[in-house]
Each structure stands twice: as structure tokens, then as C-alpha cells.
Amino acid sequence: MTKTLKVGLIGCGRIGKVHAEALMQVDTAELVRVCDVYIEAAQAVGNKYRVPYSDNHHDILMDAEVEAVLICSSTDTHAQFIIEAAEAGKQIFCEKPIHLDLAEIDRALAAVEKAGVKLMIGFNRRFDANFRAVKSAIDAGQIGDMHILKITSRDPAPPPVEYIKVSGGIFLDMSVHDFDMARFLTGSEVEEVYVQSAVRVDPAIGEAGDVDTAIINLKFEDGTLCVIDNSRQAVYGYDQRVEAFGSKGMVECDNNTPTRHRLSTADTISSPKPLYFFLERYMDAYATEIREFVECINDGTPVPAGGQDGRAPVVIGLAAWKSVHEGRPVKISEIE
């Protein structure tokens, strides 16, 4: 008989609702309880799926039926909730980032290890069909040894400056996904980071101590040279592409678009812009992510993005900031 994983949802905001819907499409999982500090949010999701709800995550952790939790609450609660969930013996899926502070991350990872539970970090891009196809081509040896990896990652519009001030800055808030992508695609670890950056989109971002435009060079242990370019504002939409070049060829992916039509007129040939932002682009990836979390727990297999995968990009992000501040290449070993 097929096992059904009983899941509790902590946090019923935007991403929590996305994950709840994803769970409904997984035959081997069942949502059994939800919570949110805003009781109205918890109520809406609870009613939709006809499950109990509350405003307190302890109700979920204390529910013996709950085998696994999805931590979708605000970022500052992630590390603490991981620790509590681990102590309660729950399997854990947690949205990224674990924390902006390495010591807090390490405290959380230690709790997970001690409890012997699994922790999967929601690096949704690893589950995107395009990036997976690139990864598959690399793993299948179709490009041979990787020499150069290029990642384009640009948001359609910057977040509010108030958010930026508490975000850890572009390298911990935005590039951190690209650092994960680079580690995912190379399967190797970063040795050195160099960054050129600028404030080009909005001076207010600079006044908040952040930058909005950057080119980041990563030197990997396996010899791959990686370059990431980031911008807080691509007016044509969310620009998420990678290109991996190696001894036997190149594999790259273009952006998804809402349609595949094109219009030819006396003026030009026009085609649709990329999907607007992460919810549009990664909706399928979120569903795949939750499905694979459930499968890993049910089957006892390793999670595709674990605690160490949550920690490494933060270290790279700290090195990136150091490079910006000191105007030189920075070794990862300088951060640890």
C-alpha cells in the first residue's frame, strides 16, 4: 500500500498557498493542519482544504499526526522554526534563506543533525524544467568538461527600499539564488569571488547601502569560470537564463514566455516578453519541488537541496560583499 505523508503548513501567505495547492496534486501526501500568525490567512487556507487551522505553529509541531512541516513563514523565523520542528521530530521543508547570519544557520543545521530528521531548502529554481534540462545535459556529458558558466538573473523591478534595507542586500537577497544555481550546475564549490557593482537603477538603493547592478565572477574548485550578471530592473520582465560551455559543446536556456506566437507587420516582427516574475516563471517548479520533498521523505532518499546547500550561498554572498567593499578578489576561505 502506498504511504501518505501527513503534512503541516506553517505560514499561509503567498508562497504557503502555492505549496498547499502543490500538495493537492501529490497523491502520496495529505495536508492535515495549517497555521499563520494572521489567523485570517490560516482560516482561508484551512477552510479551502477542510483542515484545522490556528495562529500558532506549536499546534502543528505538537500534532502527533503531522510527519512533515513546510516552513513558509517570514525569513526571520526560519532558523528558529527549523530548530523547533527538528526537536519535535518532524521532517522539514523550509523556504530559503535559512538565515542571513551564519551562526544562526549553523545552530539550525546542528539541531537538524542531532534530531536525525531531513531538511530540504526550497531552492525552487533547481526544479525548473529549463535548468533541469541544462543540468541533465551537463551530467550526461553532452558538453564535456565545463569551462565557462554564465548566469543571467534580472528582476523585473526592484523591491521597496524598506525591504532592501533588511534584505541583506542584493548578494544575500537576490544573487543567493544564482550562487545556488552555479553550485547546482557545476556540482562543485566556489573558491574565489570577485564583484563589480554599481547603482544604476535607483539612487535610493545606493543610499540604503545596497547596489542594484552587478557582475559576479566565481572561480570553482573544478576549474569552471562562472560569471553572473544581476540587475534589479529588467523592464522587459524576469530574465533568467543560463549558459554552460564546455569541451564538447554548449547548453543554454532561454526564458519562458506566456505564448509562442509572433506577429509580422510592416514595422517589425514581435514576440512575447518573458513571464513577468518568479510566481509566473516558477509555478511548475514549486509543484515539482513539493512533490520531490514528499517522495524523498516517503522513500527515504536524500533531499535534492539540503542544509549545506542552504548555507553555502550565504557564505558566497558574504564574500561578494567583502569583494565590493575591498575592491579585490576574495577567497571563500576568508569568510569561514
37 binds a second copy (CB under 8 A): no
Return the residue of 22, 45, 112, 234 that touches a second copy, per CB under 8 A. Answer: 234
263 binds a second copy (CB under 8 A): yes
Helices 102-115 and 307-326, packing angle to 10 deg: 170
Q: Taking CB under 8 A as the criterion, which residues in 94-123 touch a second copy? A: none
CA–CA dist 125, 50 (Å, integer): 30
Amino acid in position 100: L
The pair phi, psi for residue 120, each rounded to 5°, is: -115, 135
Under the binding rule (CB under 8 A), the answer on residue 2 touching a second copy is no
Question: Can you give the C-alpha Rg of the chain in angstroms?
Answer: 20
Query: In the Cβ-directed half-sphere of 104, how many Cα atoms lie within 13 Å?
Result: 14
Residues 6 or more apart whose CB falls under 8 angstroms from that of 79 comprise 98, 99, 104, 105, 107, 108
The verdict on 239 binding a second copy (CB under 8 A) reads yes
**Binder to a second copy among 93, 171, 184, 194 (CB under 8 A)?**
194
Classify residue 334 by its DSSP letter.
G
Residue span binding a second copy (CB under 8 A) among the ranges 6-14, 63-71, 100-108, 212-220: 212-220
Paired sense of beta strands 249-253 and 190-198, if any? unpaired
CA torsion sign, 31 to 76 to 234 to 192? negative
The answer to whether residue 270 forms part of the interface with a second copy (CB under 8 A) is: yes
Report the amino acid identity of residue 266.
A
Q: Is 335 in the site for a second copy (CB under 8 A)?
A: no
Residues in region 299-328 near a second copy by CB under 8 A: 327-328
Binding of a second copy by 331 (CB under 8 A):
no
CB of 235 to a second copy, least distance (A): 4
Q: Which residues bind a second copy (CB under 8 A)?
A: 21, 24-25, 50, 129-130, 132-134, 137, 142-143, 145, 147-148, 150, 154, 194, 196-198, 200-201, 213-215, 217, 219, 223, 225, 227, 229, 231, 233-236, 239, 245, 247-256, 258-266, 268-273, 327-329
